[in-house]
Homo-oligomer: A and B are copies of this chain.
Amino acid sequence: MSTHTYKVVELVGSSEVGIEDAIKNAIARASKTIRNMRWFEVVETRGHIENDTVKHFQVTLKVGFTMDDAA
């Protein structure tokens, strides 16, 4: 009971707005198929440049979720 097991998946979110927004987009998209997400950790922050301007930010994150009985 007190000894939960978690699974960790790696996602890449993107946003034209900024880093926090890219993180939120990835978690929102993942929530459609993953339940019980508990934490994230940023692994890498990148982005694309077009016409000398940041086109969008790309954040790679690890997301941990509880493996419940139906996982």
- What is A's interface to B at a CB cutoff of 8 Å? 2-16, 18-20, 22-31, 33, 37-42, 44-49, 52-54, 56-57, 60, 62-64, 67, 71
Contacts and interface: CB of A to CB of B under 8 A. Distances in A.
B31 A52 contact: yes
What's the number of copies of this chain in the assembled complex?
Answer: 12
Contact of A12 (B6, B24, B42): B6
Secondary structure call for the A interface: strand
22 contacts: A2-B16, A3-B22, A4-B14, A5-B13, A6-B11, A7-B9, A7-B10, A7-B12, A8-B11, A10-B62, A11-B67, A18-B20, A19-B19, A20-B54, A23-B54, A24-B54, A30-B67, A38-B49, A40-B46, A41-B44, A41-B46, A42-B45
